[in-house]
Structure 1
Amino acid sequence: MNTDKTEIRVAILDLYDGIANEGMRGFRDILERYKVKHGLNLKYEIFDVRRKAQVPGLNFDAYISSGGPGSPLDSEGTEWEKKYFQLIDKLEAHNQSDDPQKKHVLFVCHSFQLMCRRYGLGDINLRRSASFGILPVHMTEAGTREPAFEGLAEPFYTVDSRSWQVINPNMDRFKELGMEILALEKERPYVDLPRALMAIRFNEYFIATQFHPEADAIGMKLLLQRGDKKDEVINEHGEGKYREMIERLEEPNKIAHTQNTIIPNFLDEAILKYSVMLSDSEGTIGR
């Protein structure tokens, strides 16, 4: 029996601009668990997009584009962003070709905002105050049918960490491009402000989340226990909200469930289904 497994390659686009973060560790941990669970010869490579203008080619099986600091507007016209969007153009062209293996991409937080600007999907602005915590996210009707959300409750809980937001969706543009809003931020009946978009299906192969599906309880606990972050949360939201965040970390149906659901579901669509199809036809896992 042929036990060789064709290498599966995942590109992680690091948009953190050298800023220390928990996001990249979260992506790596999820990929390592997924590799072991499915017995895959899976390897990943990290590209420093903003600091070094590094972007991958088309020789990867799936792509994950991270969050990052700063304004999603100020980078317009920079070298790194030009290269980044050139890659997106190439991926879109590939997916429109007759190549049977499509290239799936997950865009997270800062990447979500950049793509919303690229497509002209709504207003992008600075929030009155930063949103940070383990917060509920509400699925739209389209979200309840979304394969990446399969297994999530309504609402589901995840890590929301953003100073910028996408609001006031241009529904004519969504209709024109065939895109769907999958989720919105928590309901705030006491605040007369529009709800931010939290997840979008751009097309069959591109999905984006404003929240952080890679975040886990360990990373969040370390972050929240750091003196400066603890003070920041208490000053902004109060001690009660801080204690609530810590308590939510211990609940298995909150961010742990989200972390174990969305990205693995994305990888199932991006990698596993195609690999199983080739395994059935070729007797091996392949690309």
Structure 2
Amino acid sequence: MMTKKRKIKVAVIDMNNGVPNLGMRGILAILKQYQEEKGLDLSTAVFDLRKKNEVPDTSYDIYISSGGPGSPFEGEGLEWENNFFQLLDDLDDFNCKDKGGKKYVFLICHSFQMACRKYGLGKITQRKSTAFGIFPISMTEEGSQDPVFKGLPNPFYAVDSRDWQVISGDEDDFENNSSAVAAIEKYRPHVDLERCIMSIHFSKEVMGTQFHPEADPTGMKMYLLQEDKKKVIIQEHGEDKYLDMLRSLDDPNRISLTQKLILPNFLDEAIQQLTEV
């Protein structure tokens, strides 16, 4: 399936606003490993959209937009956000035209929340407390049939780190946008709060996740073992949460599996379609 030598161009959009993070490292590492394993002619370009207002054009085949800190509303009216939304419009327009090819987009955390705002899907609210940890995530019926989640158990585990959430998905809004919820927050019978949306297929070519499928177990463990980070996490979330995260990082059936499957599955689907054109 992957032997045809078609050059694949990937644009990675950095939404971290200059804040050091593990997410970009994880995305780039997955792309590098994927390229080597598949023997592809794959090139990657990084665009610092939020900090430097760098925006890719529509010449790329695949776009991966990262998570980032802060509110998904803080860019309202700013040039960088307008450019991001215009890019999504341009890619949607391209995909609606019969040009013999498509553009594929994966949106993570902050980018996912912004896309929900743009497309009018769900309600974006600030959480009562920060979600931080490795949690089970449940696929919907649609998600269980989604090839991007192929090979994962239901529920599966992923890194969740956010102060905001997308809730209250209106079925009519999703149907009108040809979108579908693919995953939702873990079931918490002791908490009287709505389960938030964790993944949406905005279209056949555009997908987003609230969680971090790029999270690298090795990098996260190095991060958690830093004394200053350990102290802050225990102060804010408790020692039990800290120790549970360390145990989860060592479990091959938790985020290691999620990292190995979700983005590579997405790339498989996109590149298969691109090479068949």
Q: TM-score, normalised by structure 1?
A: 0.92
Count of aligned pairs: 275
Q: Secondary structure at the match of 2:165?
A: strand
2:10 pairs with 1:10: yes
- Of structures 1 and 2, the larger Rg is shown by 1
CA RMSD of aligned residues (A): 1.4
2:203 matches 1:203: yes
Q: Aligned partners of 2:168 and 2:272: how far apart in 1?
A: 36
Amino acid at match of 2:216: D
Q: Give the 3-state SS of the residue equivalent to 1:11 in structure 2.
A: strand
* 1:222-261 residue CA offsets vs partner (Å, 9 max, x unmatched): 2212334322322233212211110110111110110010
Aligned partners of 2:124 and 2:273: how far apart in 1? 35
Matched, 1:121 2:121: yes
| Structure-2 separation of matches of 1:157 and 1:238 | 20
- Name the SS of the counterpart of 2:134 in structure 1: strand
CA distance in 2, matches of 1:131, 1:231: 17
Deviations 1:147-170 (A, max 9, x none): 100111011001101111111112
- Matched residue, 2:82: 82
For the Cα contact (< 8 Å) 2:135–2:160, is it kept in 1? yes
After superposition, the Cα gap between the structure-2 partners of 1:245 and 1:4, relative to the gap in structure 1 and judged at 3 Å, is closer
Corresponding position: 1:32 with 2:32: yes
Cα distance in 1 for partners of 2:8, 2:92 equals 20
Q: Does residue 94 of structure 2 align to residue 70 of structure 1?
A: no
Alignment of structure 1 residues 138-217 onto 2, 5 Å: 138-217=138-217
The alpha carbon displacement at 1:4 in A equals 9.5
Q: 1:223-238 alignment to 2 at 5 Å?
A: 223-238=223-238
Give SS of 2:69's match: coil
Equivalent residue runs for 1:19-58 within 5 Å: 19-58=19-58
Equivalent-residue separation in structure 2 for 1:140 and 1:79 (angstroms): 36
Residue type at the aligned position of 1:159: V
- Counterpart in the other structure of 1:60: 60
SS at match of 1:229: helix
Q: Supply the AA of the counterpart residue of 2:65.
A: S
SS of aligned partner of 1:260: helix
Which residue does 1:268 correspond to in 2? 268
> 1:204-232 deviations in whole A, cap 9, x for unaligned?
10000000000011121122123343223
Opposite residue 46 of structure 1, the aligned amino acid is: V
Q: State the one-letter code of the partner of 2:267.
A: L
Identical pairs, percent = 51
Give distance in 1, aligned partners of 2:29 and 2:257: 14
SS of equivalent residue, structure 2 residue 220: helix
The Cα shift of 1:12 comes to: 0.2
Residues 60-96 of structure 1: per-residue CA shift (max 9 Å, x gap): 1100011001100121110000111111111000000
**What do residues 103-128 of structure 1 show as CA deviations (whole Å, max 9, x unaligned)?**
01000000000000111112111111
Instruction: Give the aligned partner of residue 95 of structure 1.
Output: 95
Gaps of 5+ in 2: none
- d(CA) in 1 for partners of 2:191, 2:249: 26
Question: How far apart, CA to CA, are the structure 1 residues paired with 2:200 and 2:105?
Answer: 12
Aligned residues of 2:102 and 2:274 also touching (Cα < 8 A): no
CA distance in 2, matches of 1:199, 1:101: 25
Instruction: Give the C-alpha shift of residue 268 in structure 1.
Output: 0.8
Q: Do the aligned residues in 1 keep the contact of 2:12 with 2:63 (CA within 8 Å)?
A: yes
Which stretches of structure 1, 4 residues or longer, exceed 3 Å deviation after superposition? 3-6
- Structure 1 residue 37: deviation in Å? 1.1
SS at match of 2:164: strand
**Matched residue type, 1:200:** I
**Correspondence for 1:132:** 132
